[in-house]
Amino acid sequence: MLYHVRMDVRVPRDMEPAAFEALKATEKARAEKLQRSGEWVHLWRIAGAYANVSIFDVPDHDALHAILSTLPLFPFMEITVTPLARHPSAIA
């Protein structure tokens, strides 16, 4: 099942810079692993914001939640999920 997911990151201003850099490195490694597995199909940065739009391909809602909750930045994210269905006019 495909999902359109928007993630807006809101890191506390008082987070130590070194801790934040370590957290971002861990987040990047996790995102790369999920992309290699085929679960995180597309990942786009939203220009001008600390946010992204992604497409996930996972079996169901519970699987998506399980994946999102493992992201190191998850505690600092506002996430909007939209389940997707094939459009009848799509040619691909």
Q: By residue range, what is the domain housing residue 39? A: 2-84
Distance CA 73, CA 70 (A): 9
pLDDT score at 92? 80
Task: Indicate whether 43 belongs to any domain.
Answer: yes
- pLDDT for the residue numbered 32: 98
| CATH number of 39's domain | 3.30.70.1060
Question: Which residues face 43 on adjacent strands?
Answer: 54
Answer whether residue 91 is part of any domain: no
Query: For the chain, which ranges sit under pLDDT 70?
Result: none
Q: How many domains is the chain partitioned into structurally?
A: 1
pTM: 0.92
| Domain assignment of residue 92, yes or no | no
51 CB-near residues (< 8 Å, 6+ apart): 6, 7, 8, 9, 45
In a domain, 90, yes or no: no
**Which residues are CB-contacts of 73 (< 8 A; sequence separation ≥ 6)?**
7, 9, 11, 23, 24, 27
Per-residue tokens: 49: 């914001």
